[in-house]
């Protein structure tokens, strides 16, 4: 942490990894996107935060989340980390996904309607503690 409590990666690491872009997203993103699927398996929030610290300090600024990862725990841990480390929102790219039920529903697509997807997005925003998701994907198609 720097003097104001913000996680600051080594600028050289960040510059080497930042090379991608998503049309419509202002923040350049790292060539490596960290998938948060197993954050819920770590024994505590602090253990997850320490892992995310290392990812961030290596220069990675793009995180792949999903509503079904750990039943929402993974998104909550990413959100808690963002708040506790005071990560500037305009320096990070958050990708999240919805439209898929968890293991108890055999990972089925559940893109029922506009209202259903809106609820999933609002719930993800709440768990992440952010005002917007940079890129939102449908986790499973529903042909």
Domain-embedded: residue 36:
yes
Domain-embedded: residue 39:
yes
Domain-embedded: residue 2:
no
Domain-embedded: residue 1:
no
Res 98: pLDDT: 86
Res 99: pLDDT: 80
The model scores a pTM over 0.75 = yes
**Is pLDDT of 11 > 70?**
no
Residue percentage of the chain with pLDDT more than 70: 76
Domain-embedded: residue 98:
yes
Per the structure, the complete domain to which residue 62 belongs is given by 11-137
Domain-embedded: residue 143:
no
* Domain CATH number, residue 99: 3.20.20.100
Per-residue burial over 6-16, b if 16 or more Cβ lie within 10 Å, else e, is: ebbbeeeebee
Highest mean pLDDT among 7-11, 46-50, 113-117: 46-50
Domain count, the chain: 1
């Amino acid at each position: 942490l720097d003097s104001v409590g913000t996680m600051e990666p080594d600028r050289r690491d960040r510059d080497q990894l930042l090379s991608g872009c998503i049309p419509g997203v202002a923040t350049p993103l790292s060539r490596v996107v960290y998938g948060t699927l197993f954050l819920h398996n770590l024994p505590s929030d602090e253990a997850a935060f320490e892992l995310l610290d290392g990812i961030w300090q290596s220069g990675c600024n793009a995180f792949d989340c999903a509503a079904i990862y750990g039943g929402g725990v993974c998104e909550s841990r990413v959100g808690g980390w963002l708040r506790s480390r005071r990560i500037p929102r305009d320096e990070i790219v958050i990708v999240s996904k919805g439209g898929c039920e968890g293991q108890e529903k055999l990972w089925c697509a559940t893109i029922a309607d506009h209202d259903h997807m809106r609820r999933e997005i609002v719930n993800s925003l709440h768990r992440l503690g952010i005002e917007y998701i940079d890129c939102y994907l449908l986790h499973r198609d529903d042909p």
